[in-house]
Every structure is written in structure tokens, then in C-alpha cells.
Amino acid sequence: MDQKLPSLLCFLIVFVISSLAHGQVTNAQTRDDGILGNGGSMPQDGDWLNNWLSGPLPGQPVTSRNALQTNSVTWPVSPGQRAVPKRLPVQNDERKRPSLKRASSENRLYRRTDLPDMYLGVGLVASTGATTWNHDATSSSTTLGNPSSELTYENVGTTALEFNGGMTLRDAFFVRGAVGFGLTTGSDANFRDDDFLAGQTLFSSTDSVIADSDLFYLTLDAGREIINVRDSELTLSLFAGYQYWTETYRAYGLYNRLTGSKTQADSTAVIENQVQWNSVRVGAIGTYRPNDRLEWMLDFAFVPYTAMHNEDSHLLRTASNDLGPAPNVIMDGSGYGYEWAVGMSYLVTPRISATLDFRYWALMSDGEITLGPNTATPSVFPLNDLDSFRYGVNAGMKYSF
């Protein structure tokens, strides 16, 4: 009897624990049926003991055999009991969740904003220019032709240093500007002075070497982007602005084309001409971005109005009985023109771009010409036209903030 007592006591203890565990599981199923993925099924009798024996001791890490994963947090399972997970609050702040479009943009290696807040650039502009004008002096003599004189400053090669920049404002508005200045490069620049008699008979024609010239321009524009397709893959913007453009030429020596003789040495300054343009611009900018790094650009500006002022100084004709003190030929007028550029930019780093463009400027005007404005008897004649052209390549770098 004494030997059977421990066995009987163990049986009673196991029976009581089994009854209590079975009651707890039943209550848990009634209270939380459907929460777990097992559909609320109860463990089979006897499984609780194996689960309990194989479960972790207090302080040990929880394993997948005795744990439940809920919202990335693992909770231990009580032995012989169906686990009830503790649910964490779900963060659902839409303000912190980027849209798919934004997320796609952020994942790019070299992400570009649609329009940078600000950019600054510098470039070298190698260009060739020309200015030509002619006038009608037939009112002073019927022996003269129309045009009576034609002066051409041609093949004036210039290398200019350009600084440019821009800023994006609210509601897709923007401002931009550029300033450039340069000096003569090359040896092909030439000044030709032709004079005509009635019937356009050429009676005087000389060539001089343009050994020195200056170039300066300032452009300011303001505009707004009006079309943006597929996250700035294709854009179109309109703008209006102002441009100041001036060039100065200095020519030396005289070569008579009709006689084939040199009448003045190349060390003798014979003429200096300065033309100034103040222009109003309206235009459009189109861009196409085939990938994250490359962008193509077309920039066109129409000049509906430009004010021209030109000062011509014939340095060998400054006598009081001739054209008088320099500047001794003054022209004023107005006209129109157009300017365009086509180019590309390549994103080298997320903020630095290499730029390259080809540009062409053309301004045309007419007005009045005054010969001998500083003499007692100046002569005023119609200016048939005065035109300036310049075209070239700009290579530079741009930094976006």
C-alpha cells in the first residue's frame, strides 16, 4: 500500500492539472475563436504536456514552435493554451507615405527635380559675328546710288566668358539671366567700305583688318512652365524678357580693292564702330528628357521690338571741313529679330551638369543716319538697314542647388 501511494498521488495531480488546463483552453476558445490562423482548434489531450516540456524556460528566447508572430512582434505561447496575440497599433499616417510616383523618383541614382530651385552656370562661347549697314544719300546728289555707301564688319570671331543662372518660383514661374563678355579671336575679321554712284557703279572699295573688338551682352527673362508630360520628360515654357547687346570693332590699314594697292599701313587705325541693341524678347523653351541624365533643349525668342544706336568713327576724316570730330557718323533706329539655341545637358553628378548648345542671333533695323553730327552743317539721310548677326557654340557647366 505504501509503495502504491506515490503512484496514486502522481495520478491525482496529473488528473487535476489536465482538468484545469482543459477548462482554460475551452474558455479561451469561446472568448477568442477565429483570432488565430488555426481556426480556433483545440489541442489534443496530452499535447499540452509535450508542448510545455518542449517550450522555453523563463528567460530563454522564444522559438517558432512556441511563439506567435503578430505585427513583427513575437509573443510566447502558454503551455497547453491557445495563444492570444497582443496586437500593436498600425501606423497609417498618409502624410508620411510617399506616392508610388514619388518613390520611383527617389530611387533613381541621379534624380533630377522638375525645375531646380536655383542654378548657376559658366561657359565659354566661341562665336562669329557681323554687322552691316547702308544708307541712301541721293537727296544730296543725283550722281549717287542707292545705297550710296555700304559698310560691313564681317567674320568677327569672338571668345566670350558667359555666366548664367536661374531660379524657380511658385506655381511653375521662373526667372533666368545671362551675362557675357569677350574679345576678338582669329585673324579673318575684315572691314569693307563700298561706295556707289548712280546705277550702283562701284567707285570706291577698301578693306581693313579688324584686329580688335569687344562683345558684351545681358539677357533677363521671366516665364512659366505650361506643359509637363510624364514627370518632366517633356516640358514647354513661355517667357518674356529684355536683352542688351553691344559690339565694338576697331579696324586698321587700308587696301584699295580697285587698284590693288595698300594706301595705309596695318598699324594705322582707320575706323571704330560701336553698335548697341536694346531688345524686348518673347519666346518658348522646350525640353525633352529621354533618361535621368540627358536632356535636350530648344530655346526660341522672337524680338518684336529692338532699339538700335550705332556710332561710327572715321578716324582719318576728323577735319572740320569733312566729318568732324569722332564719333562722326551716328545712326538711330528700331527693328525686330529672332534668337534661338538648341542644346543638351548631361548630369555628371546629382548637382553638376555639362552643357553644350549652338545659338544664333539676328537683329535688323532701319532709321536715320547723321553725317558730321559735331559739325556746323550735319547731314541727315535715311538709313536703309543696319543688321547684326552672331552664331556659335557654348560649352559649360551648371550647378543646381
Q: Which residues, listed in sequence order, are joined to residue 358 by a DSSP beta bridge? A: 342, 393
Q: What DSSP state is assigned to residue 92?
A: -
C-alpha closest to that of 367 among 378, 388, 382:
382
pLDDT tens profile 260-281: 999 999 999 999 999 999 999 9
Which triple of cell numbers denotes residue 178? 545671362
Which triple of cell numbers denotes residue 213? 573688338
Length, in residues, of the chain: 401
Q: Evaluate if residue 86 carries a pLDDT over 90.
A: no
Q: Evaluate if residue 129 carries a pLDDT over 60.
A: yes
Which triple of cell numbers denotes residue 152? 560691313
CATH fourth-level superfamily of 116-400: OMPT-like (2.40.128.90)
H or E element that contains 285? strand 261-288
Lowest mean pLDDT of 102-116, 319-333, 357-371, name the range. Answer: 102-116
How sure is the predictor about 230, in pLDDT bands with cuts at 50, 70 and 90? confident
Q: Evaluate if residue 298 carries a pLDDT over 70.
A: yes
Buried b (16+ CB within 10 A) or exposed e, 75-106: ebbbbbbbbbbeeeeeeeeeeeeeeeeeeebe
Q: What is the pLDDT of residue 155?
A: 96
Q: Evaluate if residue 64 carries a pLDDT over 70.
A: no
Q: Evaluate if residue 221 carries a pLDDT over 80.
A: yes
Torsion of CA 362, 367, 371, 377, to 10 degrees: -170
Contact 25, 80 (CB under 8 A): yes
How sure is the predictor about 326, in pLDDT bands with cuts at 50, 70 and 90? very high
Distance CA 220, CA 178 (A): 7
Lowest mean pLDDT of 76-85, 170-179, 228-237, 381-390, name the range. Answer: 76-85
Maximum pairwise Cα distance, the chain: 158
Distance CA 295, CA 290 (A): 7
Rg over CA atoms, the chain? 43
Q: Where in the chain is the domain with CATH 2.40.128.90?
A: 116-400
What sign results for the dihedral spanned by CA atoms 249, 161, 130, 339? negative
Q: What is the pLDDT of residue 116?
A: 53
Q: What is the pLDDT of residue 184?
A: 76
Q: Is 37 left (phi over 0), alpha (psi -120 to 50) or beta?
A: alpha
Which triple of cell numbers denotes residue 106? 527617389
Q: What is the pLDDT of residue 396?
A: 98
Distance CA 155, CA 173 (A): 39
> Inter-axis angle of helices 47-54 and 5-32, to 10 degrees?
90
C-alpha closest to that of 211 among 233, 231, 241, 191:
191
Residue 27: helix, strand or coil by DSSP?
A: helix
Task: For residue 350, count CB atoms less than 10 angstroms from its CB and return exposed for 0-12, middle for 13-18, buried for 19 or more.
Answer: middle
How sure is the predictor about 20, in pLDDT bands with cuts at 50, 70 and 90? very low
C-alpha closest to that of 77 among 13, 24, 14, 15:
24
C-alpha closest to that of 322 among 273, 255, 267, 379:
379
Which triple of cell numbers denotes residue 369? 543716319
Distance CA 388, CA 119 (A): 30
Distance of CA 354 to the CA centre of its chain: 11
- The average pLDDT across 339-364 equals 98
Distance CA 202, CA 194 (A): 7
What is the residue-averaged pLDDT of the chain?
Answer: 82
How sure is the predictor about 1, in pLDDT bands with cuts at 50, 70 and 90? very low
How sure is the predictor about 133, in pLDDT bands with cuts at 50, 70 and 90? very high
